[in-house]
Amino acid sequence: MGNYEAGRDADERESMIGSIDGLTDPWQSHLRLGHDVRFVLVAVGGGAIRVASRVASQHVRHLETVAINCDPSVQGRGEFDRRIYLGPDTGVETDTGGSPVVGGVLARAAEPALERVFRGATFVILVGSLGGGAGSGAFPHVLDVACRQAEVVSAFVIKPFRCEGERRALADRAIGRLQLVNSYIERHERGQARLTVLDNESLAHGSGPMSFAEVPRHWAKLIQEHIESSFVGPVESMVEAIQFSHAAEAMPPSGPASAEVPALEVVPPVPPIPTEMPPILPAAEAELTFEVDAGARPPPVP
């Protein structure tokens, strides 16, 4: 299973806490996870929705889930807290025909709705399936809005198998466009945005059998572990430390009044939240956010 590179794990996670230090001051011990600090998982495109639905089914603590697609069937995905159909309100169904241009036009038209999704979000985890109209066309606009509205953005894009031909080529072009999203570049330079390429082709060179149906499950497990270990768990520890510190300060001194009671020193644990975001690279190369050990080879596609 993929994990963060151990050598830089602690350093990355330690300094990212600065991104939410300012948020803790107004509420102090009354900070509420899921309200004052929001964790939002957003899936864009059919393949990403299949992956994120598995994460949503696990009911990760404090996590809000959102599905975005150009297919009106997204409105029936009840496992997500919110569903956004990138189409007209006329009742006439649209079809991108796999065109990123059409997907981009629909995403731009829906920008007010996207802003409402991300407004006030602290940690956003984006998942996009590249190669189609929604993933390759709409995802860059979703990333842009997320980086303008949220505090920290961790994005994953799923790249099709090599045998999928044109879809994989569209994915490569979409990855190139993501590097030109100004809001992402600014967040990335401040250590508040990260993008990881999950290349399906890397799963075709493992040691054990893996069906196509198991591919979404594989990526879902990796993303869920990332959410829990890099965001939810560390922030829970930080909030608990803040609450304990305030409780200790409020305790009356014990013993004779003349006795000097030493101050209780409370050192909150450093939440392991990543900071420095690596460059966008194919999943098979060395400096990835995750080291993917697939251990699987899907059957060839006729």
DSSP state of 281: -
287 occurs within a structural domain: no
DSSP state of 259: S
Say how far residue 189 (Cα) sits from the centre of its chain: 18
C-alpha 148/C-alpha 227 separation (Å) is 20
Say how far residue 158 (Cα) sits from the centre of its chain: 13
* Domain count for the chain: 1
Domain harbouring 50, CATH code = 3.40.50.1440
Q: Answer left, alpha or beta for residue 87, where phi above 0 means left and psi between -120 and 50 means alpha.
A: beta
Mean pLDDT over residues 102-108, rounded? 85
Residue 166 has pLDDT above 60, yes or no: yes
C-alpha 103/C-alpha 44 separation (Å) is 11
295 occurs within a structural domain: no
Supply the pLDDT for residue 253: 63
Burial zone of 128 (CB within 10 Å; 0-12 exposed, 13-18 middle, 19+ buried): buried
8 occurs within a structural domain: no
DSSP state of 37: B
Residue 246 has pLDDT above 70, yes or no: no
Query: By residue range, what is the domain housing residue 128?
Result: 33-89+97-248
56 occurs within a structural domain: yes
Supply the pLDDT for residue 296: 42
- pLDDT per residue over 184-240, tens digit each? 999 999 999 999 999 998 887 765 667 888 899 999 999 999 999 999 988 888 877
C-alpha 197/C-alpha 126 separation (Å) is 12
Beta bridge partners of 64: 40
69 occurs within a structural domain: yes
Supply the pLDDT for residue 208: 67
204 occurs within a structural domain: yes
265 occurs within a structural domain: no
28 occurs within a structural domain: no
Tell me if 286 sits within 8 A of 7, measured CB to CB.
no
- pLDDT band at 94; cut points 50, 70, 90: low
